[in-house]
Amino acid sequence: MLLFGGLNVASATSLTTSAPVAKDTIVIRLPNQATITLVVRDAAQLRQMKTYQLDSLTSRLAGYITQAETAAKNATSDQVTVQFYPDKDQPGQNLPEQIRITTHKKTASRSSSNGVVVLLNKKFGLDITTDDDGNTAVKSTKSKARKIAESDSIRLHNIEKDRSNFIFDLGLNALVNQQNGGATGSDASVDLRTGGSRYVNIGFNYETRLGGKRSPVGLLIGPEFAFNNFMLNGNNKWVNADGRTSVVKEIDGREFQKSKLTTASINVPLMLQLKFRDSHHQPTFHVAAGGFVGYRLGAHTKLKYIEDGNTDKEKDAGSYNLENFLYGAQGTIGFGSLEFFGKYNMNDLFKNNAGPKAQVVSFGIRFFGN
């Protein structure tokens, strides 16, 4: 049996619950495996329970439930609500002023049990499910307000301590501030295919609050693993020759479906964050900005083309005269669960005089990390 507050029956065939938020719960387990759960608003309401004389009330309920089950069997609807008024029938004995019992007729989907709901005084209730052998099952009920309060409490506890967040960024790369970026000896810029020059970043951000427990100011630090793709437009390819990386036109007659340079690096960002929250401690507007340092882990080129009716791929790993040590600025901005990121490499992509002079800008959406 489950006692809970504020239940009301809307009609003879439907039951609606609307309970105030409960503060205290007392669970009583009986030898016959039945369970009585008292959920009360405060201690004063609990002390009022003694006026109901629960021992005699239990015996009285057994008779009421039998009458309700009989009514359910003879009814044409699947659910029947019966009302009793013990205090009016026998005044002066501190009996409940009203008891409402709702029973469900046994159907194919409910072949092994009958549901019984008992309401007392519009303040206390019993939610009982019994089968033909008298076994009792308890169904937990919580009001919407109580669930919201519990979620708010959990979120408040989480924001009052340092935490780590898994992050996943997906975006695009672009080359900026280019000089002499095309084929060797030319002044043409490297022409990237925008949709194919993808940026992927995964890692963890460790968040430390600055100030009080609910301060909106925090500090974020990595690490992160970034993968940059630089896919070329046209029938061009990346070539490392004579100590220099260049973009050259294909002269062997192959038509490239893909031609790209891919790099992998580990980065450690350090950002100052400002995050505001609503009354339920959910994040609203948030922004973070700072810098990062990193190290290039590897690089390779990849060609994909069709030759003699077959699809061929070529992959060549190497340093490609890329700068190994990285540094730059990055930041995020968002509202709620929607967050965007931007990243600017302040040093060049290639070593001095060993490749196209250009810097990398990455931008996109952060799917996790808030």
The per-residue pLDDT string of the chain (370 residues; one tens digit each, 9 = 90 and over) reads: 333 333 333 333 333 344 444 456 777 666 666 666 666 666 666 666 666 666 666 777 777 778 877 877 777 777 778 777 777 777 767 677 778 787 776 655 544 444 555 555 434 444 555 555 556 555 555 567 767 777 777 777 777 777 888 999 999 999 999 985 444 444 457 999 989 999 999 999 999 889 887 789 999 998 999 999 999 998 999 999 988 999 999 888 788 999 999 999 999 999 999 999 888 878 899 999 999 999 999 999 999 998 877 889 999 999 999 999 999 999 999 998 899 999 999 999 999 999 999 999 999 999 987 6
pTM: 0.59
Residue 103 to residue 72: CA distance in whole angstroms = 6
pLDDT score of 13: 36
Alpha carbon distance 340, 361 (integer Å):
14
Virtual torsion, Cα 159, 162, 165, 169, nearest 10 deg: 90
Distances (CA, A) of 300 to 260, 306, 368: 8, 20, 28
Please tell me what DSSP assigns to residue 211. Answer: S
Q: Are 301 and 260 in contact (CB under 8 A)?
A: yes
Q: 3-class SS at 146?
A: helix
Give first-to-last CA distance, the chain, whole Å: 42
Cis peptide before 86 (omega within 30 of 0): no
Q: What is the DSSP letter of 74?
A: H
pLDDT at residue number 18: 44
Give the residue among 262, 246, 261 at the shortest CA–CA distance from 355. Answer: 246
Residue 211, phi then psi, degrees to nearest 5:
105, -150
Single-letter amino acid, residue 318:
G
- What single-letter DSSP state applies at residue 21? P
Question: Are residues 222 and 268 in contact, defined by beta-carbon separation less than 8 angstroms?
Answer: yes
Q: Which residue has the tokens 């992050």?
A: 167
pLDDT value for 301: 96
pLDDT at 215: 86
- Say what the pLDDT of residue 36 is: 67
Predicted local distance difference test score (pLDDT) of residue 323: 96
Torsion, Cα of 161, 164, 170, 173 (10° steps): 100
Count of CA atoms in the C-beta half-sphere (13 A) of 335:
0
> Cα angle vertex 262, ends 260, 263, to 5°?
155
Residue 143's pLDDT is: 62
Place of tokens 């931007």: 342
CA gyration radius, the chain: 35
